[in-house]
Structure 1
């Protein structure tokens, strides 16, 4: 299994290292290809390259958009680009964004970033190795990085 990981220098936490650690500790027979780009708007083409040129079976795109309105717009554009890359390649790209304004305290923001990266890495493992386990979680209000909302 070839897993692509792309992250950014703009992020204030190394989410890719947390995701890679989680993958290596909980999956088998995998090869990880990591690329780092400046910002979130660079992630879609990098994810597409990881799929088409590096033959990755799935990709995680990790980013940390800033708190300004312009940052939110860039995150939306990056998200749209990641969706388009998925559709062009018929390959999942897990978007793992942590917005800087999700937590005011830097310590809590770093905890959120690490937890979200690790929990999305666990989702990747379920998607690629244990699809029925993911199905059992449908409608359960699962949240990555924070408390689960729970089912209604």
Structure 2
């Protein structure tokens, strides 16, 4: 079990890992080893996630989410396969943790009387400044 929060955990069998060859420099070693990790997690098919968390997770995933509802995370920064696996898993856990946080609903508020008065006073002041700039017809 992978613990996300004290009340939420996902089973390890829900995560698929595949190893691919990493791109970038590394000499001849990079052509022979598959050190990059591609981690797949099916959000829609996960029995561990509550529906509201799954919906928020799909919104947060963005381009990492496939049309089938699978999150794909690729880690290839490290030369070690083990460290790439740990990093990919850490990224997934962080993403799910972020999805567990509920956004506070916005409560509409009204402006205070003092703020209305300040706004009207500044408008009046500005109006006087602009009126002083107007050209007046010459009184001959």
TM-score by length of 1: 0.31
Q: Pick the structure with more helix per residue.
A: 1
TM-score by length of 2: 0.33
Larger Rg: 2
